[in-house]
Chains A and B, each alone.
Chain A
Amino acid sequence: MNRPVSDLELKDAIRELAPRVETSTFCEELGERCAKKKPGRHRGRRFRLVAIGAVVVVMLTGASLGLIIGLGYLRGPQSVIVLSDDVMSPGTVSQGPSGPYGSPANTLSGTKAELWTEIQRIRQGVASGELVFDWPSSEAASGVLTSDPMLMLDSLEQELLGPDVTAYLRDSADEALALRTKVWATPGVARLEFVNKEEALARLKNSFSDNPEILEGLDDNPLPASLEIWLSDYTQAAFLADELRGRPEVEEVAASMRDDAYWIERLDYLRSLTRPSDSTNTGATRDSAETGSETTTTYGAALTGDDPPPSSTTTIMGDVGPRLTWGEMAILDGRTIKVEQPVEAPDETGAPSGFTVAYSMVTITNTGSEPLICVAAEFSLEGNSSGSTGHAGPKKMMAGHVVLDRVTLQPGESVTAAVRFCVKQGDHPVKVRLGTQFSTSVTLASWQ
């Protein structure tokens, strides 16, 4: 039996792997690059003061705007969602200004959509004073790029909004109209953007604005045009990338390597980033009473003492969405939602190592008296992974399951969605959270 490898041995072994570096050459080159920087380009103290002043002005403007938005939000109609065993009469729902639908982020799905919602919740909460950053002073003072939590939110938003797949085109492809048409017709493509060579160069210059000498002496534009593609299910990026690689117009394809685990980790981190403000207690409250296997939960509360107008109610989702055990049923805004026991599909590929693909059927029934429109439905398992839904119907087929696009449920009608999960063997999660997009899926007109 082999002797266990100690930490020290592991450290030595990893150091053995490191390539040899000619540090003197490194220093010489760095010296030459530093010398090319003219004094005017250096960020002296005066520049720094001006920059700080500008940032303060922008921040104050932003904070004022945030305050106005926050106050507007507080004055506006707020939501009450009640989940009970009784069928409720439906309220009215308006779409939040920052949700994944009706915003520039309307192509986000799954955990990315959840993350986007969480970022907006934090922004709104901080602006209204309900939330404060629980930011360790050591982090804040560390000076690393994440020292400002708002900057981190900005950065994360940018990352979320990036394309899932980018196809770099050969120069001979010109504007690749045929390919663009074909890609746009591909199931699951939610957004497509053509970036021509000039735009690509402008982006590159912007990216290297700190070190413009890198691009000095560039006589012509060597950058290719590209197609940037956003998918309704970002976990399918690799499949589309493989298809595009076979096209003659395409020189190279880059697919986002961010897997779901990456976004879940960011989401966990964000959720630990804030805490309710000590001085306010106006946030949504949650009372839960569990009796046996049945759960009756009231989610949310009016943020002001005023009764919301009957024609407008905003649903608060995200963390306060219902949590159901397998086989459990809940009612949400006039919809009955039932989650059935998952069925494993151990032969199906695509699950990370140690995980198995499983499907669970979720039935959504309109038990209200008005038509309901479900735009999309996303499900995530606590602690493990997430999946997106499809429903049985002539919808877009992608990698073995159907993406729920848009379905209208008349009173009494149902739709059954197959939810694909990756579960860990022998460690099945017992809870499923239903959430975000249900809240935005009901049109205001339906409730008049």
Chain B
Amino acid sequence: MVSDGVKAASLPHIVKEARRDGGAPTASTNGSFDSFVQEHSTRLVQSLSLISQDPELAWDAAQDAFLKLYLRWDTVGDLRDPVAWLYRVALNRCSDYRRIIARATRLTERLESTNIGMWVEPQLAHTELALTLGALPRRQRIAATLYYLADLSTEEVARVMGVSPGTVDRHLYRAREALRSSMEGES
């Protein structure tokens, strides 16, 4: 059920519409926003899905994060680490959704009703490992997911989480112990 290697589609809408608008966002002028989205969208949605345990919420949060990045794409050079920025904004947006929209049941329903279709498998796997990952304390789950799935370095994970690399190492150590023991139990 992995989407590893899924080739992202191009972003014809973004480029076309941006040009029609007068090319305000430079996504159209340097084209790299397209490739940035293609390169990171899958992993971002997957990571947020595992972290939030809610693929649909992950989808919305990832959309918002990319949109924010799009609006400031002309100054993306100011960001030393746009990937860390993206993940942090997306994680914050996940929290926003959890705190506000997820509590407003009817609004959530309204948002869902505007969905075009199902783009993320609504159910996460129910293997022993998945259950262990889902039961990890949130910070351990974030650290492990970003490190193993999103391929971020310890330093990048630290920047996303706003903690020191040493703290990330501690979270990773604990998460790794739990996940390994779950896998060993399965085998």
Task: Write the residues of chain A forming the contact surface with B, with a CB cutoff of 8 angstroms.
Answer: 2, 4-5, 7, 9-11, 13-35, 37-39, 41-45, 48, 138-139, 141-146, 152, 166, 168, 200, 203-204, 207, 210-211, 214, 218, 222-224, 251-252, 254, 257, 262, 265, 268-269, 272
How many Å lie between the Cα of A5 and that of B180 in the bound state? 6
B residues less than 8 Å from A24 (CB atoms)? 8-9
* Residue contact A29 to B159, C-beta cutoff 8 Å: no
Pick from B13, B55, B121: contact of A34, CB below 8 A: B13
Pick from A15, A18, A30, A145: contact of B85, CB below 8 A: A145
Q: A19-B124, A24-B8 are in contact. Are A146 and B1 (CB under 8 A)?
A: no
Residues facing A in B90-113 (CB within 8 A) are 92, 96, 99-101, 103-107, 110-111
* Residue contact A20 to B2, C-beta cutoff 8 Å: yes
Pick from B18, B120, B129, B163: contact of A22, CB below 8 A: B120
B residues less than 8 Å from A210 (CB atoms)? 68, 71
A residues less than 8 Å from B46 (CB atoms)? 18-19, 21
B residues less than 8 Å from A252 (CB atoms)? 103, 105
B residues less than 8 Å from A19 (CB atoms)? 1, 3, 45-46, 49, 55, 120-121, 123-124
A residues less than 8 Å from B47 (CB atoms)? 18
How many Å lie between the Cα of A332 and that of B2 in the bound state? 62
B residues less than 8 Å from A141 (CB atoms)? 80
* Residue contact A21 to B119, C-beta cutoff 8 Å: yes
* Residue contact A143 to B63, C-beta cutoff 8 Å: no
Q: Which residue of B lies closest to A152 (CB)?
A: B162
A residues less than 8 Å from B125 (CB atoms)? 16-17
How many Å lie between the Cα of A13 and that of B130 in the bound state? 9
How many Å lie between the Cα of A145 and that of B89 in the bound state? 8
| Chain B nearest Cβ from A349, distance in angstroms | 18
* Residue contact A211 to B11, C-beta cutoff 8 Å: no
Pick from A13, A17, A21, A218: contact of B45, CB below 8 A: A21
Q: A17-B133, A144-B84, A211-B64 are in contact. Are A35 and B110 (CB under 8 A)?
A: no
How many Å lie between the Cα of A361 and that of B84 in the bound state? 47
Q: Which one of A18, A32, A203, A251 has the highest number of Cβ atoms from chain B below 10 Å of its Cβ?
A: A18
How many Å lie between the Cα of A223 and that of B106 in the bound state? 8
B residues less than 8 Å from A143 (CB atoms)? 78-82, 84-85
B interface residue count range (under 10 / 10 to 19 / 20 to 34 / 35 or more): 35 or more
Q: Which residue of A lies closest to B63 (CB)?
A: A30
Q: A23-B6, A23-B42 are in contact. Are A207 and B100 (CB under 8 A)?
A: yes
Q: Which one of A22, A29, A138 has the highest number of Cβ atoms from chain B below 10 Å of its Cβ?
A: A22
B residues less than 8 Å from A25 (CB atoms)? 116-117, 119
Number of A-B contacts (CB under 8 A): 240
Pick from B11, B59, B129: contact of A14, CB below 8 A: B129
* Residue contact B37 to A223, C-beta cutoff 8 Å: no
Instruction: Decide if B74 is an interface residue (CB 8 Å cutoff).
Output: yes
Please list the 8 inter-chain residue pairs (A to B) with the smallest Cβ-Cβ separation, ordered nearest first: A31-B13, A35-B17, A24-B9, A143-B79, A18-B46, A222-B106, A23-B8, A39-B24
* Residue contact B63 to A204, C-beta cutoff 8 Å: no
* Residue contact A272 to B124, C-beta cutoff 8 Å: no
Q: A31-B14, A210-B68 are in contact. Are A39 and B9 (CB under 8 A)?
A: no
Instruction: Decide if B179 is an interface residue (CB 8 Å cutoff).
Output: yes
Pick from B70, B80, B145: contact of A142, CB below 8 A: B80
How many Å lie between the Cα of A427 and that of B164 in the bound state? 25
* Residue contact A14 to B145, C-beta cutoff 8 Å: yes
B residues less than 8 Å from A43 (CB atoms)? 71-72, 75
Q: A30-B37, A39-B24, A254-B103 are in contact. Are A13 and B67 (CB under 8 A)?
A: no
Residues facing A in B1-58 (CB within 8 A) are 1-4, 6-14, 16-18, 20-22, 24-25, 27, 37-38, 41-42, 45-47, 49-50, 55
* Residue contact A222 to B104, C-beta cutoff 8 Å: yes
B residues less than 8 Å from A204 (CB atoms)? 100-101, 104
How many Å lie between the Cα of A28 and that of B63 in the bound state? 11
Q: A18-B46, A33-B67, A143-B82 are in contact. Are A27 and B10 (CB under 8 A)?
A: yes
A residues less than 8 Å from B62 (CB atoms)? 26
Interchain Cβ contacts under 8 Å between A and B, 12 examples: A2-B184, A19-B3, A19-B120, A23-B8, A30-B13, A34-B17, A34-B70, A37-B25, A42-B71, A142-B79, A168-B103, A224-B104
B residues less than 8 Å from A4 (CB atoms)? 180, 184
Instruction: Decide if B160 is an interface residue (CB 8 Å cutoff).
Output: yes
| Chain A nearest Cβ from B56, distance in angstroms | 10
How many Å lie between the Cα of A224 and that of B105 in the bound state? 9
* Residue contact A144 to B159, C-beta cutoff 8 Å: yes
Pick from B13, B107, B179: contact of A35, CB below 8 A: B13
How many Å lie between the Cα of A251 and that of B106 in the bound state? 12
* Residue contact A23 to B14, C-beta cutoff 8 Å: no
Q: A10-B148, A18-B2, A21-B42 are in contact. Are A144 and B81 (CB under 8 A)?
A: yes
A residues less than 8 Å from B38 (CB atoms)? 23, 27
B residues less than 8 Å from A200 (CB atoms)? 104
Q: Which one of A10, A11, A26, A203 has the highest number of Cβ atoms from chain B below 10 Å of its Cβ?
A: A26
Q: Which residue of B lies closest to A204 (CB)?
A: B100
Q: Which one of B50, B80, B96 has the highest number of Cβ atoms from chain A below 10 Å of its Cβ?
A: B80
How many Å lie between the Cα of A18 and that of B149 in the bound state? 8
Q: Which residue of A lies closest to B126 (CB)?
A: A17
Q: Which residue of B lies closest to A38 (CB)?
A: B21
